[in-house]
Structure 1
Amino acid sequence: MSPGQIGFALLILGFFLLIGKVIRVKTGWVQRLFLPSSIIGGALLLLLGPQVLGQLVPGLSEGGIFTEEMLTVWAALPGLLISVVFATMFLGQDLPSPKRAARLVGPQLSLGVALGSSQYVVGLLLAALILVPVLSASPMTGALIEMGFEGGHGTAAGMRGVMEDLGFGEGADLAVGLATIGIVGGIVIGIALINWGVRTGRTELLKGDVKTSVDEQKGLFRKDEHYPAATMTSRPASVEPLSLHMALVAVAILIGWAILEALRWIEARTYASVMLEDNTPLEIFAYVPLFPLALIGGVILQAVAQALKVDHIIDHQMMLRIQGWALDFLIIAAIGTLSLTAIGANIGAFALLAIAGVGVNVALFLWLAPRIIGRYWFERGIGDFGQSMGVTATGLILMRITDPEAKSPAFEAFGYKQLVFEPFFGGGMVTALAVPIIFLTGIWPLFFAMLVLLVIAVGVGLFYYGPRARAERAETGEGTSAVTT
C-alpha cells in the first residue's frame, strides 16, 4: 500500500464526515436525536461499502464504491486514534482541592462505579446462563456491555486487536454495534428521562418543557456567540501551539508505551512461564492494549509539568480539540468498517446484551442516584447515565440540557469523578483486562469480583452518602419526594 493510497483514504474519511455534518444541519429528525456527524458519516460509509451496497449491486466491487486499500486504512485507524483520545483526557487539567473534590466526588463515584460494575455483573451472568449454554456464544461476550456502552466506539474499536488475538474477532463488531445502540439510546432515553423529571418536579433548575434552540439541534453556534476553541500558549514563530500540543500527546503516548513494555517484560520473566490447563501461558499484559496506559502517561506528564511549574503551556481546551478530532475520525472509521455479518450471526446475543445494558443503566439511575446524591441529584446523575450509555460527550449533552447555565455543581462533580473513574472503567485498566481474564479464567472469577465491587459501591452510597444526601435536602426544604420513583 502506497503513502498516496493511505492519504486518499483519509481524505475520503474527512469528506464523509463533512457530509454527515451537512445532513445534521439539514435534517430535522437527525437534529432531534442529536446524532453526531461522525455516526451519520460512518453509517453512510457502511451503506456504500461492502456490507450493503457491495452485496446488493451485481458487478460492483466487493468493497462497494471503495477500494480495498481504503477499507484497510479505515479498519486500522481506530486502534491508533484511541490512544490519542485517552492521552489527552487529563492533560491541561488542574487538580481540585482535596476537601472540595472529596465532598463532590464521593456519591458521584459510587454511582459511576455501580453503573460500570453492574454492566459486567449483568453481562457475565447473561453469558453464563443464556449466551454460552443456549446460543453457543463465547464467554467473552459477558464483557461487551461495559466495553460498548461505558467504553463507547473508541474502546470497542481499540480492543479489536486483543479480541482477534484471543480468537474472538466478532466481539469487536458486536461491541461497536452496542456502542452505536448506546450512544443513540443514551440521547433518546436521556431526553425522555429529562422530560419526565421536569414534569414530576425532580429537576431543580429546569422548569417547563425541555426545549433546545434550532442552532443547538443543528450543532452550530449563532453568529453572535463567541466561544474560543483554545488558548495560545506558545508563540507561532517558535512552534505552532497546535504542533506543541500534538507533540505533548505523542510524549504521553510514549510514556504509556514504555510502561506497557515494562509490564510485559516483567510478566515474561515471572509468572508467564506458568502454563494453564489448556497449555496456555499465564499472560495478561501481553493482551492489554496501549490506550489505557496512554491515559496514565498523560496523567504523569501533567504531574511533571505541574511539579516543574510549566503546566501553563498545556491548554486543556486545545487538548479537547485534539481529542475531538481523533474521536470523530475514530467513530466514522469504526462504524464504516463494522461487520454486519458478525452482528447478524450473533443477533440473539446482541439483542439480549443491548436490552440488558439499557435496563440496568436506567434502573440504577432512577433508583440509586436520588438516594445517594443530595441537591441536584437529577442534574448530576443524568451525566453518569449518559456516560454509561455512550461516551462522556453523551453525559455532557444531557447535563447541558438540564443545567444550561452551569448553576449546579454537576459539571464540576462529573469532572472530579472522571479523574478517579476513567483510569479503570470505560476503557481503563478494568476494561482492558476483562477480556483476557475471562479468556484465562472463565466467567465466574471476574463476575464475583465485579459483584463485590457493585455491592461495595451501592453500600457505601446508601449507608455513607445517603444520610448526607437526605440532610442536604432537608436543609433546603426539598424533602424526600425526590427519591420517590
Structure 2
Amino acid sequence: MDLLISFSVLAGFLILGMILRAKIKFLQSLFLPASVIGGFIGLLLGPIVLGDYAIIPIPEDWISIYALLPGILIVPVVASIPFGVKFKSRLEKRKERQERAEKPASVNLEAEKGSSTTRNTLVLLAILVIISQGQLLLGLLLSFIFEATDFVQDLYATFGTEIGMGFSGGHGTAGVVGSLLQSMNQPYWELAQGVTVTTATVGIIGGILIGIVLINIAARKGYTKFLSGPQSFPEEMLKGYESNIEKQNSFGKETTTSSSIDSLTFHLALILGGSGLAYALLSVIQYFQVPIIGSVPIWAYAIIVMYGIWWIMCQLNLSWVVNNQITSKIASMFTDFAVVAAIVSLPVQAVLTYIVPILIMVTVIMAFTVSLAYWMSKKLYGEFWFERSVAILGTNSGVFITGLLLLKMVDPDYKSPVLGEFSVSYSINSVLGFILFPVLFGVLVNEGILMGLSIPVLAIIGAIIFMFIVKGKPQRPKFKEMKA
C-alpha cells in the first residue's frame, strides 16, 4: 500500500508540474518538462530542504524508495531502445537485392544523394561522440587537478563524470549513474545521482538560453536559412498540452485486439518481460561467479537481451506486432517517474558540499560544448551548418528534445535534412554511450582516474579517425547548376 501511495504522490507532482508549466510563462520559456518542475516543487517544499517545517511531509522511507526508483525504472527505459532499430529479415534482404539488380542506370544520381546524406549523418555522429566524450574528459581532468592541488579533498572516484552524463544524457541518465554505482557497491551512488540531476538541470536551462542568444546573433549575420525565431513556437508547445481535439496526435497504432490483449498491455509486457529475462541472466552469471561480466549493470543486460529478442522477431517477420510509438511512450512514462523521483530525493546537503567544483566544471564544460558545436559544424559543413550546430548544442547540454527545440527555432518546418541526420546519429551515440559507461566507471573505481582518462581519450581519437574516413572531400554549398 505504501508503494502505491508513494507513487501517487509522484503522480501528483507530475500533474502539478504540468499545471505550472501551462500557467507560468517563465517556465514555458525554459521548456522545462513537467517532471523537472514537479520534482523541484517536491524537493523545495519537502523535508530534505525544509526539514521539520516541510510543507509537504514526505516520510523518510518514501524518500529512500524515490532514491532507488531511477535505477530501477531505467531498466525498462533502456530495454525499449532496440525497438527503434531496423533489422531486415532474409526475405526483405533478398527482395532488396533483386530490386537493386533491376534498377536502371538513371537511379545513380539518387544513390549519390543518399550517399551524401549517409556521410553527413556519420560526420554528425562523430561530432556528438567527440563532444560527449570530451565533456567526460574535461570533467575528469578538472577532478584530477582539484585533488592534485588540494583545492577539493576527498573526491569520490567517479567525480567529474556527472557533468558529461547530465549534459549529454539529461535527467534520465541520473538513474543510470546511480544504478551502475550501486551495482558496483559504491556508497556514494546516491550523491553521484544527485549531482547528475543538478548538472542536467543546469545544462538544459543553459543550453536553451545560450542557444537562443546564438540564434539571434546568427539571424543578424545571415547564417540561418529559415529563421523565424522563438516566437514561432505554437502555444501548445509552450504550454505543454493540445486543447484542439482535431490537432491531437495519435498515441500509436494498435497491433493487437482488445479481445485478446490490449496493445498497450502487450508492449508493456514485452518490455517488462525482456527486463525480467535480463535480471534472470544476471542472476545466473552472478551465481556461477563469472568474472568481469558478473559486475556489468542490469540495464546493460536489458539492452543486450532486448536486441536479441527484437532481432529474432524481425527474422521471423514479427516486427509488425511492435509499434515504435507505443514503446517510446512507455519509455517516456518510466522516464518521467524516474526524473521526478530523482529530484524529490536529491541529497541537497551532500551536493552543496561540492558546489564550487561543480560550478567550475559546469562553466568550463558548457563553454567547451558551445565552442566545439559551433566551430566543428562551421568547419565540416557548408549548407545548414548553423542548423546542425544548434541541434548539437541542444542535445549535448540537455536532451534530444532540447536539440529539436533549438533546431525548430531556425528550421520551423524541418525543411532541411538536419532532423533525419540528427535523429539517427543521436540514437547511435546513445547506444555507444551505454556501452562505454560501465567500462569507464569500472576503470575509474578499480584503476583510478589516470587510467580512466584513457577511455574518453581513445573514444575521441577513434571518432576523429572515423570522421575523416567518412567525410571525404569538404562539403560546400553549390551555387552553380550542373549541366545536364
Shorter-normalised TM-score: what interval?
A: 0.7 to 0.9
Q: Match of 1:135?
A: 152
CA contact 1:143–1:434 (8 Å) conserved in 2? no
CA displacement at 1:286 relative to structure 2 = 4.5
| 1:162 shift after superposition | 3.8
Aligned-pair identity in percent equals 27
**1:322: how far off?**
0.6
- CA root-mean-square deviation: 2.7
1:198-226 Cα offsets, whole Å, 9 max, x none, are 23222222256753233221112251413
Residue 88 to residue 162, structure 1, CA distance change in 2 (3 Å): closer
1:162-241 maps to which residues of 2 (within 5 A)? Answer: 162-164=180-182, 165-169=185-189, 170-207=191-228, 210-223=231-244, 224-241=246-263
1:113 and 2:105 correspond: no
**Contact 2:122/2:470 (<8 A) preserved:** no
- Spell out the pairing of 1:25-424 with structure 2 (5 A cutoff): 25-54=22-51, 57=53, 65-94=57-86, 102-131=118-147, 133-136=150-153, 137-164=155-182, 165-169=185-189, 170-207=191-228, 210-223=231-244, 224-257=246-279, 260=282, 268-269=289-290, 272=291, 284-424=292-432
Against the structure 1 CA distance between its residues 466 and 212, is the aligned structure 2 distance closer, same or farther, given a 3 Å change threshold?
A: farther
Asked whether the equivalents of residues 202 and 378 of structure 1 are also in contact (C-alpha less than 8 Å), the reply is: yes
Q: CA distance change for structure 1 residues 21 and 324 in 2, over 3 Å: closer, same or farther? A: same
CA separation in 2, counterparts of 1:151 and 1:260?
Answer: 25
Unaligned residue ranges in structure 2 (runs of 5+): 89-95, 97-110
Q: One-letter code of the match for 1:121? A: L
With the length of structure 1 as denominator, give the TM-score of the two structures: 0.85
SS of the equivalent of 1:433 reads helix
* Aligned equivalents of 1:10, 1:476: Cα separation in 2: 61
Q: Distance between the aligned counterparts of 1:90 and 1:378, measured in 2?
A: 31
Range with bigger deviation, 302-311 or 444-453 = 444-453
> Which residue of 2 is the match for residue 9 of structure 1?
6
Structure 1 unaligned residues grouped into runs of 5+ = 273-283, 478-485
* Alpha-carbon separation, structure 2, partners of 1:436 and 1:296: 19
Separation in 2 of the partners of 1:421 and 1:341? 34
Shift of 1:104: 3.8
What secondary structure does 2:124 align onto?
helix
The 2-side partners of 1:264 and 1:191 are apart by 49
Q: Distance in 2 between matches of 1:208 and 1:82?
A: 35
**Count of aligned pairs between the two proteins:** 451
Q: Which amino acid aligns with 2:251?
A: A
Q: Is the 8 A contact 1:203 1:376 kept in 2?
A: yes
How many Å separate the matches in 2 of 1:108 and 1:468?
14
Report whether the alignment pairs 1:438 with 2:444. yes
C-alpha distance in 1 between matches for 2:268 and 2:224: 40
Secondary structure at the aligned position of 1:404 is classed as coil
Residues 161 and 321 of structure 1: CA distance in aligned 2, closer, same or farther (over 3 Å): closer
* 2:296/2:438 contact within 8 Å kept: yes
1:161-204 Cα shifts (integer Å, max 9, x gaps): 44352233322221221111112222222232333332322222
Identify if the C-alpha distance between structure 1 residues 208 and 175 changes in structure 2 by more than 3 Å, giving closer, same or farther: closer
State the Cα distance separating 1:153 from its structure 2 match: 1.8
